[in-house]
Amino acid sequence: MLSYNLSAPRRITASNLPLPSPYHGDEHAEPGVEVKIDNLKVESLLDDRLMRSMVATSKEVPTTNDGHGVLPLDEAPGMGIVIPGGLNMYYIDMAPKTEGVMHRTTSTDYLVVLSGQLSLMTPSNQPYHVDSGKATYSEPVETVCHPGDVIAQRGIMHALSNRTNEWVRVLAIVLSSKSNRVPIEGTNGHKDLADAWLA
């Protein structure tokens, strides 16, 4: 594997400072702005195949802009992707020749490819079955994503892969969504789609 050669991302946080008491009641007064620059901590996942740097979290949407200084990060349960009812934003760096696991989460994900070439792997446009964690589609469909591309994932089964010889960096903004569901044609019904990780 190519050694990890990407620099730690920086987070620049700009927040309103408290208004000093002499300005109480002054309708024209505006607060000063604090700008903090942090080098983000990089954590290793999946035997160094993935490296993640947390940027920001919120347990609810709309978020709050209260506070300043060091703002705490909320824990995301499970695989650390979705904060129920909230937002999770992080960088993900993927090692060369890394195949992702097909999965679905109850979220709307916006993925911005910053460097490298990311492969978005999805089932085809035909229905398929999942039994005991295994899917019946033959080969996933590969969509190659380049720097500057934005992927808007809307509760789909997918995997992210790096099939190149270089590291890939992606910025992920993951918003908790309403339950994933699809209409059933010719009826008034729908099928709920649960979170899933395939073998």
Which pLDDT tens digits describe the chain residue by residue (199 residues)? 568 999 999 999 999 999 999 999 999 999 999 999 999 999 999 899 999 999 999 999 999 999 999 989 999 999 999 999 999 999 999 999 999 999 999 999 999 999 999 999 999 999 999 999 999 988 999 999 999 999 999 999 999 999 999 999 999 999 999 999 999 999 999 999 999 999 8
Q: What is the pLDDT of residue 153?
A: 97
In a domain, 11, yes or no: no
In a domain, 26, yes or no: no
Q: What are the DSSP calls for 88-112, one per residue?
A: EEEEEEE-TTBPPPPEE-SEEEEEE
In a domain, 29, yes or no: no
Interior CA angle at 127 toward 126 and 128, to 5°? 115
In a domain, 9, yes or no: no
Q: What is the pLDDT of residue 162?
A: 98
In a domain, 185, yes or no: yes
Contacts of 21 (CB under 8 A, 6+ apart): none
| Dihedral over alpha carbons 86, 72, 56, 32 (to 10 degrees) | 110
Q: What is the pLDDT of residue 183?
A: 96
Report the number of distinct structural domains present in the chain: 1
Q: Report the alpha-carbon distance of residue 184 to residue 76 in Å, rounded.
A: 32
User: Nearest CA to 61 among 94, 83, 33?
Assistant: 83
| pTM value > 0.85 | yes
In a domain, 33, yes or no: no
Interior CA angle at 43 toward 39 and 45, to 5°? 155
The domain of 103 spans: 41-197
Q: Report the alpha-carbon distance of residue 118 to residue 156 in Å, rounded.
A: 17
Helices (H) and strands (E) in the chain, counts: 0, 17
What CATH number corresponds to the domain at position 69? 2.60.120.10
| Dihedral over alpha carbons 56, 176, 172, 95 (to 10 degrees) | 110
In a domain, 130, yes or no: yes
In a domain, 142, yes or no: yes
